[in-house]
A and B are shown apart, each in its own frame.
Chain A
Amino acid sequence: MINPSTFPVSANQLLLRADAVSCIRQDRVLFEQLCLSVEPGDMLHIAGKNGAGKSSLLRLLAGLAQPDDGIVLYREKPLHDVISDYAANLCYIGHHSGIHEQLTALENLSFWRAASGVAPADDFALLAKLGLAGLEDIPCRMLSAGQQRRVSLARLWFTPCQLWILDEPFTALDQSAITLLQQHFLQHLLKGGSVILTTHQSLSLDYARLTTMEIAYRW
């Protein structure tokens, strides 16, 4: 069932590792000496209160910010040495949706197809699958928050990347979309992909390699 050949990192290798990383924001230590590792097929759920530093941790892992101490390694090499390899294998969807309100769902998706190096294709079927049939051609500012989130997450259906880092992907989504997304996570994990995400929802996913890491809120 597992078919690791489609991804650059095979099943028994280490994909991403954070070694004793610390993060300080405005003189407040969010977390220190934090260690984690992700292998292909792993799903990591980062939990914690508002302001605990979940998004900051994800940004460190995505290579968008530098840890104040410690190091992040991709395939056991420091991130800044292999950043272009790493970035090519990473799909990061942050706190903001990454879609332009003036563009339609189709236009936003074709932009992200080009940016992820995927051939242009017809996204009508994909959008219909996500419950956006009939809304493909209107500017995204007319869509509700949940529908915009669906457009943003549609990228996960065509990205070739192995590691997904998602900041609060379930925000504003309804129950059916959450179920659909979790099923899609499962497919990705079974193919040898990995998912790191933050959420305040409890994950209903029945998957043996799902680990939850709690970041304590500290002053």
Chain B
Amino acid sequence: MVMRQFLQRELRLLARQKADWLNPLLFFVIVLSLFPLGVGPEPNLLRLMAPGIVWIAALLSVLLAAERLFKDDYRNGVVEQLVATRQPLLSYVLAKILANWLSTGLPLVILSPVVALLLNVNQASFVAMILTLLLGTPLLSLLSVMGAALTVSADKGGILLALLILPLYIPLLIFASAAVEAASMVMPYHGQLAIMLAMLLFALALIPMAVISALKLNVS
């Protein structure tokens, strides 16, 4: 109930501040469309590199959206006053995470057919790419919300945020691109998907608590 109201607020804010989520998406598309131009339009080469390229572009575009997550609410005192009220903090954090995924993660999944065309991805690896994006982008959102909460009081937090959460993205990058690569060689990739799901569930259980602690720390 409270959570639904908070989510509504976040989505309303996203609808009014379109640059916050459109810029990262444009960035994603631009990076991917530059690769065929940069490395040459050799279909086999592109197909070979596709898993890595897609996931690196996804990581960077999510990172781009992360910095401003809590900035406005911190500056105008919403975070401070929510921390003083304590009880609605969990709903607030969950709404932030969900709204972040809906605005940055889900569009990447929706855009993936375009990506597959650009990079000459075959059908088997395309399915794997969608599955890894579906499992991986919620984890990216969780991690970036945590990074944003930790760096919210830092004036120029952008580079600090990148240093803090890019290392945490690396396991995801390794398993996700390994899964897509295995799929392109028609090998089973359940193992990689299972590990990604495990990482997602682990993060889902612990990160909301970490975000709450980080917010409390940053207002005290």
Q: How far, in angstroms, from A62 to B92 measured CA to CA in the complex?
A: 20
Decide if B83 touches A64 in the complex (CB within 8 Å). yes
Decide if A64 touches B219 in the complex (CB within 8 Å). yes
Decide if A115 touches B2 in the complex (CB within 8 Å). yes
Q: Which residues of B contact A88 (CB under 8 A)?
A: 85-87
Q: How far, in angstroms, from A84 to B90 measured CA to CA in the complex?
A: 13
Decide if A97 touches B9 in the complex (CB within 8 Å). no
Decide if A102 touches B16 in the complex (CB within 8 Å). yes
User: B86's contact among A66, A87, A103, by CB below 8 Å, is which?
Assistant: A87
- Min CB–CB distance B180 → chain A (angstroms): 38
Are A107 and B9 also in contact (CB < 8 A) when A87-B85, A93-B81 are? yes
Is A28 interfacial (CB 8 A cutoff)?
no
- Min CB–CB distance A145 → chain B (angstroms): 13
Are A65 and B220 also in contact (CB < 8 A) when A87-B84, A96-B76, A115-B85 are? yes
> In the complex, what residue of chain B is closest to A113 when comparing beta carbons?
B5
Q: How far, in angstroms, from A83 to B83 measured CA to CA in the complex?
A: 11
Are A97 and B76 also in contact (CB < 8 A) when A92-B81, A111-B6 are? yes
> In the complex, what residue of chain B is closest to A95 when comparing beta carbons?
B77
Q: Which of B9-36 contact A (CB under 8 A)?
A: 9, 12-13, 16-17
Are A117 and B86 also in contact (CB < 8 A) when A96-B76, A100-B13 are? no
Is B190 interfacial (CB 8 A cutoff)?
no
Decide if A84 touches B86 in the complex (CB within 8 Å). yes
Majority secondary structure, A binding face? loop
Q: Which residues of B contact A65 (CB under 8 A)?
A: 220
Q: Which of A55-78 contact B (CB under 8 A)?
A: 59, 62-66
Q: Please indicate which of the listed interface residues B1, B84, B86 has the most CB atoms of chain A within 10 Å of its own CB.
A: B84
Decide if A115 touches B82 in the complex (CB within 8 Å). yes
Q: Which residues of A contact B13 (CB under 8 A)?
A: 100, 102-103
Q: Please indicate which of the listed interface residues B12, B73, B85 has the most CB atoms of chain A within 10 Å of its own CB.
A: B85
> In the complex, what residue of chain A is closest to B9 when comparing beta carbons?
A111
Q: How far, in angstroms, from A64 to B64 measured CA to CA in the complex?
A: 30
Q: How far, in angstroms, from A95 to B87 measured CA to CA in the complex?
A: 21
User: CB-defined interface of B66-89 with A at 8 Å, one 1/0 digit per residue?
Assistant: 000000110111101111111110
Q: Which residues of B contact A66 (CB under 8 A)?
A: 220
Decide if A100 touches B76 in the complex (CB within 8 Å). yes
Q: How far, in angstroms, from A84 to B212 measured CA to CA in the complex?
A: 14
- Min CB–CB distance A197 → chain B (angstroms): 15
Q: How far, in angstroms, from A35 to B90 measured CA to CA in the complex?
A: 34
Q: How far, in angstroms, from A92 to B79 measured CA to CA in the complex?
A: 12
Is A120 interfacial (CB 8 A cutoff)?
yes
Q: Which residues of B contact A120 (CB under 8 A)?
A: 5
Q: Which residues of A contact B9 (CB under 8 A)?
A: 103, 107, 111
Q: Which residues of B contact A97 (CB under 8 A)?
A: 76-77
Q: How far, in angstroms, from A189 to B5 measured CA to CA in the complex?
A: 31
- Min CB–CB distance A143 → chain B (angstroms): 13
Decide if A62 touches B84 in the complex (CB within 8 Å). yes
Q: How far, in angstroms, from A62 to B219 measured CA to CA in the complex?
A: 12
Decide if B76 touches A63 in the complex (CB within 8 Å). no
User: A114's contact among B75, B77, B88, by CB below 8 Å, is which?
Assistant: B88
> In the complex, what residue of chain B is closest to A110 when comparing beta carbons?
B5
User: CB-defined interface of B183-220 with A at 8 Å, one 1/0 digit per residue?
Assistant: 00000000000000000000000000000000000011
Contacts A93-B81, A111-B6, A114-B2 known; 19 new A-B pairs at CB < 8 A: A64-B80, A64-B83, A65-B220, A92-B80, A92-B81, A92-B84, A92-B85, A94-B80, A98-B76, A99-B78, A100-B72, A102-B16, A102-B17, A107-B9, A107-B12, A110-B5, A111-B9, A114-B6, A115-B88
Q: What are 26 A-B interface contacts by the 8 Å CB criterion?
A: A62-B84, A64-B80, A64-B83, A87-B84, A92-B81, A92-B85, A93-B81, A98-B78, A99-B76, A99-B78, A101-B72, A102-B16, A102-B17, A107-B9, A107-B12, A110-B5, A114-B1, A114-B5, A114-B88, A115-B2, A115-B82, A116-B88, A117-B2, A117-B87, A120-B5, A139-B16
Task: List the 4 shortest-distance A-B pairs measured between CB atoms, nearest first.
Answer: A96-B77, A87-B86, A114-B5, A92-B84
